[in-house]
Amino acid sequence: MILQELLRLKLIPLAKTSFVFGLTFFLVSCFGPFKELKYQIEDSWDDTSYDISNPLPLSEIPNPFSPNIIFSGSFGDDSSRNFTLVYLNNHISYASQTGLVTSFSLEKNSITWSYSHNQVITSGISGFEDNLFFVDYDGYLICISSSGSIKWKSFVGEIISPPLAIKNIVIVRSTNNNFIALNNIDGSVVWNYKVPSSPLPIRSWGEIVESDNIIYSGISSGKVIAINASNGLLVWESTFSAPQGISEIERSNDTTSKIIIDDYAIYAVSSKGNISAITKLDGKILWSRPLSSFQGMDEVDDSLIVTHNSGSIYRIAKDINKVLWRNAELLGRDISRPFVLNGYVIVSDYEGYIHFLNKSNGKIESRIKLSDSPLLKPVKISNEIFAASSIKGDFIIISLAEVNYKKNKFDNEKLDSVEEISTNSSDKDSTEKDDESLIDALIFWD
């Protein structure tokens, strides 16, 4: 009877209209105009749509500076781009995939020793005090001295991320998210903690980090965990980038980047999802925005420098969660994790180039070609000197000591909106055409 009366009075269409109007009003009031909604729920500038198999050609750089090459040589064996150099006790150590660990003396400008393990190295190397650590294909964690002699080995399983050595222990994370702490004197197990794995995790080399005796690590399913370094007890677990999609492949979403830590928060970015600020104390999300990165990020001043999966590079303010600049000149060039030194954001690409971006505005100010193959993650030697190596073993030490750069007024001022920042040459056309992808896509949940 009620339904018939509503039909007779034609109130059902009116009810539908009222519902649609109410929903529209709600969405607009929460998110702003509809034309902005699409960009508020995607990566900034929708970089995910770029065809990374079609790399942009390198553009000319007006008045580039010339970095000072201090040393150039070769380690003579192939490495992996997931490995990094280690700077320890005035030596730079390099690991090849075939099992050769080589140490270069900065004082003598020559190789001082090599250790041949005769087994594939899967994790890369890390160092602490007088020891170097790596994991081999058989699943053994190896400790060698800074002079190249083996101290001990202990079975830990399949490890492809670098060990973390702190104080009296060295910690590894297996591919099935088993965290194991070992005594760094004799290799005995101190504790272990097993995290339930997702059905299809990425075999990640994401690094473990430590602050105030707490271990932080990204894991599968867009999560971060905090573990007490003394006893291996879980402090908290936080999901900052929930998996999306139907199939397990679509939902695969790991935290492959090294986590950034400051006094109050940690910052994590997932391989397919969000970048977020998370409280160190209890794992609560302070802010989160869409941005995907497999390679990772670094920090400069009070901001994060992030390499997007497309190859674009972002600078994001930690406190106000806004993009301060974006460089899109290197799209599709398989850009590395950024490395900040002497006022520059330094990245490498698949052709062996190193690009120097001004940290204040993101403009490329110079580039040099170090090799014909991709580069390992560089290592800082001082505030003006760093070392880099290619996966083919090419080795170079670079100084920026005599490079003069101008500081943008940005260093001392906070910007109200992204439109106040001059864009790179590849962005100018889209700005002039009022590309909607530039509108408030950078202001997420403000």
What average pLDDT does this structure show over 186-196? 93
The answer, yes or no, to whether residue 47 has pLDDT greater than 80, is no
The answer, yes or no, to whether residue 342 has pLDDT greater than 80, is yes
User: What mean pLDDT value characterizes the chain?
Assistant: 79
Higher pLDDT, 435 or 102: 102
What's the pLDDT at 8? 47
User: Lowest-pLDDT range, 231-235, 356-360, 422-426?
Assistant: 422-426
Query: Backbone dihedral region of 81: left (phi > 0), alpha (psi from -120 to 50 degrees) or beta?
Result: alpha
What's the pLDDT at 254? 66
- Going by pLDDT thresholds of 50, 70 and 90, the confidence category of residue 54 is confident
pLDDT in tens, 72-104: 988 888 888 888 899 999 999 999 989 999 999
What's the pLDDT at 252? 54
Residues 6+ apart with CB under 8 A from 314: 44, 291, 304, 305, 306, 308, 323, 325, 326
The answer, yes or no, to whether residue 31 has pLDDT greater than 80, is no
What's the pLDDT at 46? 62
Q: Which residues pair with 192 in a beta bridge?
A: 180
Of 142, 178, 188, residue with least CA distance to 158: 178
What's the pLDDT at 58? 92
What's the pLDDT at 435? 30
Higher pLDDT, 40 or 366: 366
CA torsion sign for 293, 315, 380, 182 is: negative
Helix (H), strand (E) at residue 432: helix 428-432
CB distance 170 to 125 below 8 Å? no
- DSSP-assigned states of every residue in 15-84: HHHHHHHHHHHHHHHHH-SHHHHHHHTSSGGGGGGS-TTSPPPPPP-SS----EEEEEEE--S---TT-B
The answer, yes or no, to whether residue 440 has pLDDT greater than 90, is no
Sheet-wide strand order for 344-348: 339-341, 344-348, 353-358, 364-369
Q: List helix spans (H) across 193-309.
A: 248-251
pTM of the model: 0.77
Higher pLDDT, 10 or 86: 86
Higher pLDDT, 64 or 199: 64
What's the pLDDT at 200? 55
- Going by pLDDT thresholds of 50, 70 and 90, the confidence category of residue 438 is very low
DSSP summary character for residue 390? B
Rounded to 10 degrees, what is the CA torsion of 333, 334, 337, 340? -20
- Going by pLDDT thresholds of 50, 70 and 90, the confidence category of residue 7 is very low
Q: Measured in Å, how far apart are the chain's first and last C-alpha atoms?
A: 48
Phi first, then psi: give them for residue 436, nearest 5 degrees. Answer: -65, -20
